[in-house]
Amino acid sequence: MTDTPDDSLHEASTRDYRPTDAPALAAVYRAAILETGASAYTAEQCAAWAATADDAAAWAQRLQDNWVRVAEDETGEILGFGGILMPGTIDLLFVAPEANRQGVGSLILDDLLELAAAMGAKQVRAIASNLSKPFFEKHGFKLVESGEHERCGQSLACHLLVKG
């Protein structure tokens, strides 16, 4: 992702999550993983990862457990979202494929970092995918360790990064 928004996103803004957003955020999550994730993970890995949003009740609970910020354009179309477990663990940060590399992820991350600071976090952690690791590093996060986690029987590479 870059911080250079194109003209179509000059009106992008963020707001707090509403429970009625859950299905739309699940759709962004799935699209980001299945379309964007395909460049770094196998189709089987992407399918297993995306399936974690298939249980509507569990997905809604995950969103409720986070402080979620939603990015949308001037028409209300959701462009991406991010969630932070307080006081400072970024649990979610996903951008719709059509809004990639237009500053949406940076806009959301800025909100999450401000929330963490307001809640007194001295450090912010992120568990990043192979795709999002360079994004977080660009925003001042430092790699602590790399490993793997399992999603629906598939092993996916992940990276713990810390800022602060």
- Contact call for residues 148 and 156 (beta carbons, < 8 A): yes
**Residues in the chain, total:** 164
Dihedral sign (CA 37, 150, 105, 99):
positive
Three-point CA angle 7, 140, 83, nearest 5°: 70
Q: How far apart are CA 107 and CA 2, in angstroms?
A: 11
User: What are the pLDDT digits (tens) for 132-160?
Assistant: 999 999 999 999 999 988 777 788 889 99
Neighbours of 14 (CB within 10 A): 18
Q: Which of 81, 85, 106 is nearest to 21 (CA)?
A: 81
Higher local confidence (pLDDT), 162 or 149: 162
- Contact call for residues 113 and 144 (beta carbons, < 8 A): no
Q: All domains of the chain, ordered by start, with CATH?
A: 7-163 (3.40.630.30)
Neighbours of 146 (CB within 10 A): 13
In the predicted model, is pLDDT for residue 4 greater than 70? Answer: no
| pLDDT band, residue 36 (cuts 50/70/90) | very high
User: What are the pLDDT digits (tens) for 38-63?
Assistant: 988 999 999 999 999 999 999 999 99
